[in-house]
């Protein structure tokens, strides 16, 4: 259930990191560690503006998808069609998706990062109580999924691939011995054509089509898993966590109508750079989740 409110404010301000305020004080801010609102210059004025997301969403796929794009589907299309939008996303995503959502380039506002600058708006649309910070899921997330599948014609692709993926070496939560896990899976389940899909797409439509081919995905925890929004309903995702339960991905996958299993095997902390994982544990859960894929339920874990 969504726990947020769409506010329509008059004569409001927005900072470079998404903090919203009126003349007297700052009233809405995304998260504690994003609270960087300061006294600053107003560098632009607009009639009607939408703000979703925050500065961190300009760097991170998952935060961008969950907190910048998904809330836009709660705003009526007629408002989206006439409003400017402050862009808290990455070019890999917004170059394509904002066009599809009707935000033409001349209605996109880019505030400089890490500078104390504001824009003002006669009318400002935002969400608060609670804000979107990888914490709001449900039918609206699925509405976003269906939008993507229709616009990219993903329903024409039948999922058939069993895939592993990894976070790049040197990044947080990298599985150091994924090659060993893959080779062991090939030996234990020889009838399956196991594949590795790199996490290096530079084109969103190609990324969407590659992930729509996947019916079974094994991956370390991270925003890379949010690409499962392109997968078909009732497919399976195994998410290997790192001493940190990832509730946001569980809610995201459930809203996308996927079977998602999380189990803890990366010994380094969530904010550190990964570790080897236990191969036998991986094979155990792969075998169980292959049964989940076959039966469409979790009974194998009872």
Asked whether residue 213 falls in the same domain as residue 251, the answer is: yes
Q: Would you state the pLDDT for residue 16?
A: 80
> Structural domain of residue 204, as residue ranges?
154-301
Alpha carbon distance 175, 61 (integer Å): 19
For residue 64, give the H/E element and its range.
Answer: none
pLDDT band of 27, cuts 50, 70, 90: low
Structure tokens that stand for 300 in this block: 């194998």
The gap from C-alpha 87 to its chain's centroid, in whole angstroms, comes to 16
pLDDT of 90 strictly over 80: yes
Confirm whether 146 is domain-assigned: no
pLDDT band of 88, cuts 50, 70, 90: very high
Asked whether residue 117 falls in the same domain as residue 50, the answer is: yes
Q: Would you state the pLDDT for residue 49?
A: 98
Asked whether residue 226 falls in the same domain as residue 124, the answer is: no
Classify residue 7 by burial, with Cβ atoms within 10 Å: 0-12, 13-18, 19+. middle
Strands (E), 4-159: 5-15, 20-21, 26-28, 41-50, 84-86, 108-109, 117-128
Confirm whether 71 is domain-assigned: yes
Q: Which of 75, 110, 136 is the last residue of a domain?
A: 136
Confirm whether 143 is domain-assigned: no
Cis status, amide bond into 250, omega within 30 of 0: no
Asked whether residue 215 falls in the same domain as residue 278, the answer is: yes
Alpha carbon distance 145, 143 (integer Å): 5
Confirm whether 117 is domain-assigned: yes
Confirm whether 83 is domain-assigned: yes
Domain of 255, CATH number, reads: 3.40.50.360
Strand partners, 45: 120
Q: Would you state the pLDDT for residue 135?
A: 73
Confirm whether 149 is domain-assigned: no
Asked whether residue 158 falls in the same domain as residue 296, the answer is: yes
Asked whether residue 243 falls in the same domain as residue 163, the answer is: yes
Query: Mean pLDDT over all residues of the chain?
Result: 91
Asked whether residue 92 falls in the same domain as residue 170, the answer is: no
pLDDT of 20 strictly over 50: yes
- The number of folded domains in the chain is 2
Structure tokens that stand for 76 in this block: 């009526």
Place of tokens 């370390």: 220
Q: Would you state the pLDDT for residue 113?
A: 74
Asked whether residue 127 falls in the same domain as residue 190, the answer is: no
pLDDT digits (tens, 9 = 90+) for 246-294: 888 999 999 999 999 999 999 999 889 999 999 999 999 999 999 999 9
Mean of pLDDT values over 150-173 = 97
pLDDT digits (tens, 9 = 90+) for 268-277: 998 899 999 9
Asked whether residue 170 falls in the same domain as residue 294, the answer is: yes
Q: Which of 136, 165, 200 is the last residue of a domain?
A: 136
Asked whether residue 242 falls in the same domain as residue 174, the answer is: yes
Place of tokens 């024409």: 156
Please give the span between the terminal C-alpha atoms of the chain, in angstroms, as a whole number. 27
Helices 91-100 & 204-212 angle (0-180, nearest 10):
90
Strands 20-21 and 26-28: antiparallel
For residue 78, give the H/E element and its range.
Answer: helix 77-82
pLDDT band of 28, cuts 50, 70, 90: low
Confirm whether 44 is domain-assigned: yes
Alpha carbon distance 301, 141 (integer Å): 27
- Stretch among 3-12, 17-26, 180-189, 253-262 having the lowest mean pLDDT: 17-26
**Residue 289, C-beta contacts closer than 8 angstroms, at least 6 positions apart:** 216, 236, 238, 259, 261
Asked whether residue 73 falls in the same domain as residue 20, the answer is: yes
Q: Which of 106, 136, 166 is the last residue of a domain?
A: 136
Answer for the pair 253, 277: CB distance below 8 angstroms, yes or no.
Answer: no
- Stretch among 128-142, 155-169, 233-247 having the lowest mean pLDDT: 128-142
Asked whether residue 102 falls in the same domain as residue 166, the answer is: no
Structure tokens that stand for 224 in this block: 């890379």
Confirm whether 20 is domain-assigned: yes
């Amino acid at each position: 259930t969504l726990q947020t409110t769409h506010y329509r404010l008059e004569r409001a301000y927005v900072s470079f990191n998404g903090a919203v305020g009126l003349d007297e004080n700052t009233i809405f801010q995304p998260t504690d560690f994003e609270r960087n609102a300061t006294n600053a210059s107003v560098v632009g004025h607009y009639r009607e503006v939408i703000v979703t997301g925050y500065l961190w969403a300009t760097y991170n796929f998952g935060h961008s998808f969950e907190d910048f794009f998904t809330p836009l589907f709660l705003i009526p299309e007629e408002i989206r069609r006439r409003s400017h939008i402050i862009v808290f996303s990455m070019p890999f995503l917004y170059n394509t998706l904002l066009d599809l959502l009707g935000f033409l380039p001349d209605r996109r506002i880019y505030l400089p990062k890490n500078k104390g600058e504001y824009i003002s708006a006669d009318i400002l649309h935002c969400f608060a109580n609670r804000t979107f910070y990888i914490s709001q899921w449900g039918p609206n997330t699925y509405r976003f999924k269906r939008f993507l599948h229709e616009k990219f014609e993903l329903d024409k692709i039948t999922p058939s691939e069993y895939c592993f993926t990894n976070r790049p070496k040197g990044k947080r939560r990298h599985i150091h011995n994924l090659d060993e896990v893959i080779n062991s899976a090939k030996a234990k389940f020889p009838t399956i054509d196991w594949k590795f899909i790199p996490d290096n797409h530079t084109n969103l439509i190609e990324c969407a089509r590659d992930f729509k081919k996947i019916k079974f995905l094994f991956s370390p925890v991270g925003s890379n898993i949010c690409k499962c929004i392109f997968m078909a309903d009732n497919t399976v995702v195994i998410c290997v966590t790192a001493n940190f339960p990832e509730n946001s991905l569980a809610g995201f996958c459930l809203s996308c109508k996927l079977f998602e299993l999380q189990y803890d095997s990366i010994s380094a902390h969530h904010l550190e750079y990964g570790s080897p994982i236990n191969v036998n544990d991986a094979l155990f859960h792969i075998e169980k989740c292959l049964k989940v894929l076959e039966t469409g339920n979790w009974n194998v874990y009872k």
